[in-house]
Amino acid sequence: MSALLLLAYDQKVTSTTQAPHRSNPVPGGRREAATSRKRAAILVAAQAQLAEHGYDRMTVAHVAQDAGIAIGTLFTYAATKAELLMMVTADRWSDFVPSTIQSAPPGDPVRALRHLLAPFVDIALREPATTVAVARELLFGQPGPHRQAVLSLVADLEAAMARLLAEAGSTRAAEAATMLFAGVLFEANRARDRRIIRADDMDERVERLIEACLPRNESSTHA
């Protein structure tokens, strides 16, 4: 991956924006329940549109229609189409990123790094077009609350990878962790462009990325 691309990615991850928008309903009241229902309906509709049409062909109007709400209402939850994608991504990733970090196997840094990256590789294989759209927004997208929520999850993941890399002897663990995650996104994009995204191919690419980020003596023991 080019140094320019890595620099752009690192700047996006380390930048800060306001926290994801939350309305201020009356606690325990009908407004809070209605807000939760609408948010859930938006997520379901957007996920269905992404699965059926992909990000490029998904429209905010169709998502609003499928969710049973007005477009203006949808924009109070996600101000742009890109933020809608990030809203879906934050919701999905928050389901597995914390638990994946907690369940990383001890003892073997290579095995643990594979474990941390496995959910993202799986998503890239199942949903290559959406994965590329997410990567594009993370790398080059405009600041927004839902995007920042995704970047916060990425920061947590990279911190976990950096700890493993430091334990393996890396003297630049934080930079290596950033390169590793950005590399997985880049490889998913490259594989999709070449229409060769297969499980074995992606596993091999991730393996090479991990080896490149580890100190030479550590990576050689897993060759």
pLDDT in tens, 9-35: 555 555 444 444 444 544 567 888 899
pLDDT at 61: 97
Q: Which residue has the tokens 């490149």?
A: 212
Arch. (CATH architecture) of 22-76: Orthogonal Bundle (1.10)
Q: From CA 75, how far away is CA 54, in angstroms rounded?
A: 20
pLDDT at 64: 98
pLDDT at 147: 98
Every domain range in the chain assigned CATH 1.10.10.60: 22-76
Q: Please indicate, yes or no, whether the overall pTM of this predicted structure exceeds 0.85.
A: no
Query: Which CATH class for the 3-17+82-220 domain?
Result: mainly alpha
Average pLDDT value over all residues in the chain: 84
Of 132, 177, 126, residue with least CA distance to 154: 177
Among residues of the chain, what percentage have pLDDT more than 90? 57
Instruction: Assign 206 a pLDDT band (cuts: 50, 70, 90).
Output: confident
Every domain range in the chain assigned CATH 1.10.357: 3-17+82-220
Backbone φ, ψ for residue 191 (5° rounding): -65, -40
Is the pLDDT at 2 greater than 50? The verdict is: no
Instruction: Assign 121 a pLDDT band (cuts: 50, 70, 90).
Output: confident
Query: Among 44-48, 62-66, 158-162, 170-174, which is the least confidently predicted range?
Result: 170-174
| Mean pLDDT of the region 103-130 | 90
Give 173-182 pLDDT, tens digit per residue.
999 999 999 8
pLDDT at 191: 60
Give 152-167 pLDDT, tens digit per residue.
999 999 999 999 999 9
Compute the Cα dihedral for 67, 69, 71, 77 and give only its sign.
Answer: negative
pLDDT at 16: 42
